Amino acid sequence: MAGNGQAVGVLALQGDFREHLAVLRGLGADAVPVRRESELDEVAGLVIPGGESSVMDKLARMFGLFDPLRARIADGMPVYGTCAGLIMLADTVRDAIAGQRTLGGLDVVVRRNAFGTQNDSFETELAIPELGDPPVHAVFIRAPVIEEVGPHATALATLGDGRVVAVEQGSLLGTAFHPEVTGDTRFHRRFLDRVRA
């Protein structure tokens, strides 16, 4: 339950939204796919999944979701973005395709496909003090990286080389990796806590 009997949504235009729905439902949330503005109006929080950020941007505009989403984010709706979802939430994107827009909200600069191709995917353990022990097993798949964290955002996790891979700002949460594929639900719980608050 997301509190007040309110549902939480997963943006279901493209990408691995089914995995997020399964994790949220496993945590007892009333989780629903969001593809239309009317569905967005019904949810108290939203997960933007991994996938292809440029395709997600195009589809959000095509489905008339882009501006309503921007407005809800600006209005303080809790949102958790993973991988492409993190790119969608970033105020600035490097290596974006021509005409690509983001929803914004996170005071960060993100670089798309920072780790290269699908073949450069990797897994690592991340110590994240805010989530306690054990470390988070993080899976990076054609992942972005957060190159700059502005004064309004807070880094939650960094790689050994200092690159930032998880960030939060108010009711927004973003990770460059995919917790929905590892069985570690702590980021989803943190998102649901934001929704309940």
Residues with catalytic roles: 83, 178, 180
56 Cα distance to chain centroid: 13
CA 59, 93, 175, 69 dihedral sign is: negative
Sign, Cα dihedral of 152, 131, 85, 172: negative
Distance from CA of residue 114 to its chain's centroid? 16
Residue 5 tokens, joined? 């009997």
CB 48 within 8 A of CB 38: no
